Structure 1
Amino acid sequence: MKSFFYKHSLILFLVVLVGRGILGMLAIGGIQYFNPDLTIEKDLGWVVMLIYATCTILAVKWVKIDKEIGLTLPASAKDWYAWLPVLVIPMSLTFVLGFNSTWGHLPFLLIAAVGVAINEEILFRGILLRAILPFGRAVAIIVPSLLFGAAHLGNIFVGGDITYALFQFAWVFFGGMALTAMTIANKSLLPAIAFHFILDAIEYAAVGAYGVHSEGFSLPILTMFLLLNVAFFFYSIIILKREGTNDEKANFADPIIIHR
């Protein structure tokens, strides 16, 4: 079984995607059985994200592809420095949105942010990328990012704001392509996980969410965030091309991506 999933990353992706969802629903259902007043969007989102992250980590550890998908430190400190300009995105959110949560909620916000970052990066920039990259970098950058964006539309069905979800699909698509390109250039998932955590932690602190947004932002803020992610995408392509120029013989299959 382990060798089967090792050779078929796409099936592993689907199994983890569905399996973590089932476990999350069972856990939330059990909690709500004892306290029906608790909701996912306002109270239990952090629990869902923690379950999701645990499932993805255990899956890649069990199949032993954690190092292949980039759960190792980048080879050089310059791979971290390349992310510094991108911090303008969370800095902009901090300036515009501020901090609108209570200090008592902060630990749960951070747990949710860590869970989302680990879960989504391992799933989409790790397992799924490992399955699709053999078909070419362009396909590997675009296809997982489309699925990444579509996955966020599910927030609508658990109480999320519809307008926010549609904008989120757009910026997650561009942001997903940017994260994929940067991950390919870094040959490591860790910088992407760190950036994803910072971004989500600031966003959650601004709205008091636990991983699911029940309230929408204003149209100017949504547009600003979309444009920032579009700029992030173009920046990531520059970094990826520069990385290819510096080492034309390098192949991302070393160490991340060998098997389909």
Structure 2
Amino acid sequence: MVSIVERHPVGFTLGLTAGLIVLTLLTRAVLEVAIPQLTLHGIGLILNWTIVAGSIVLVTWLGWWEKIRLTAPVNRRAVIYLLPFAAVVLVPAMFGLAIPEISLIQGQTLPPWAGLVVIVVGVALGAAISEELIYRGVLLRALEPRSRLLAVVLPATMFGLAHISQVILGNSLAEWLPQMLLIIPLGIGLGAIALRLESLWPLVVWHFAVDVTGSLVATTSVVYELITIGFVLLAGVIGVWLLWQDRRSRHDIHRQLSTNVDEIGARR
């Protein structure tokens, strides 16, 4: 049976993004009443792993573990395209790393080792699993039969917009709006590379690593922001270039097939 994801991939993509935003609003509202001593960081941690569970349920319901390339070997020739993305992981280390103070319960600050566990396991691992399963997994492969361009650009845009959840959880709109916009070209690069890698795992590992180092950066400056923006825009350029290469390759194949058909017809 063809699922709703396959029948209406665009509608499902838009609906899922809206659903994630609504889930964030409801989770904050419910937990603030049910467990008032939770901080917004604590609420975000619960929400993060709720989405992880939901993404795993979605993939299991669809039976798409193979389709989203979780069982496929990595195309090693395509790994080179990840090098600029690896730089994004290393940039925070150039400016120093430190464990920030984290409080899950009001009035209680976690010891450094526990804060590190929360960042590595609670935040980075959870986001890497759920966001790659959803955006470079289910949505990318659902939209791919329509168009590779659509399959990359639409999930990338929704990937950026879904981060409005950070504002819902108490972060500054002025701080997160530029980041949401920058996530879009980053998502385009990731989506285009996902089509070449033929495996989702390298992106899960990258996503995990970049969230860890990004959360541990000790100090930020204008230089840090400019370097990060530069690499993100480079990732977007790489994505556009790869999509253009794909389009040109398909055009060449179509032209060659048309030529062969004409030659066969002429021989007859």
Letter in 1 for 2:140: L
Name the % identity: 22
Letter in 2 for 1:106: L
Match of 2:224 among 221, 224, 231: 221
Question: Residue 72 of structure 1 contacts residue 190 of structure 1 at CA under 8 Å; is this kept in 2?
Answer: no
Confirm or deny that 1:156 pairs with 2:167: yes
* Structure 1: distance between partners of 2:149 and 2:246: 15
Partner of residue 38, structure 1? 38
Partner of residue 129, structure 2? 118
Cα 1:217–1:44 change in 2 (3 A) is farther
Deviation, 1:153, is: 2.5
Per-residue deviation, residues 221-253 of structure 1 (Å, max 9, x unmatched): 33332221011222344556678889986xxxx
* Structure 1: distance between partners of 2:246 and 2:3: 33
- Structure number with larger C-alpha Rg: 2
Confirm or deny that 1:104 pairs with 2:114: yes
Alignment of 1:223-242 (within 5 A): 223-238=226-241
Instruction: Tell me the secondary structure at the aligned position of residue 144 of structure 2.
Output: helix
Question: Residue 183 of structure 1 contacts residue 192 of structure 1 at CA under 8 Å; is this kept in 2?
Answer: yes
Letter in 2 for 1:105: G
Alignment of 1:177-196 (within 5 A): 177-196=188-207
Q: TM-score of the superposition, structure 2-length normalised?
A: 0.74
* Paired residues, number: 239
Partner of residue 212, structure 1? none
Question: Residue 16 of structure 1 contacts residue 59 of structure 1 at CA under 8 Å; is this kept in 2?
Answer: no
* Structure 1: distance between partners of 2:35 and 2:235: 42
Deviation, 1:55, is: 0.6
Partner of residue 254, structure 1? none
The CA RMSD measured in Å over matched residues stands at 3.2
Per-residue deviation, residues 4-39 of structure 1 (Å, max 9, x unmatched): 335336355466556666666666656544541322
* Structure 1: distance between partners of 2:14 and 2:235: 28
Match of 2:139 among 120, 123, 128: 128
Q: Mind listing any 5+ residue stretches in structure 1 that lack a counterpart?
A: 208-215, 250-260
* Structure 2: distance between partners of 1:206 and 1:117: 18
Q: Mind listing any 5+ residue stretches in structure 2 that lack a counterpart?
A: 101-111, 254-268
Q: TM-score of the superposition, structure 1-length normalised?
A: 0.76
* Structure 2: distance between partners of 1:141 and 1:76: 19
Deviation, 1:87, is: 0.8
Question: Residue 159 of structure 2 contacts residue 184 of structure 2 at CA under 8 Å; is this kept in 1?
Answer: yes
Deviation, 1:88, is: 0.8
Deviation, 1:173, is: 0.7
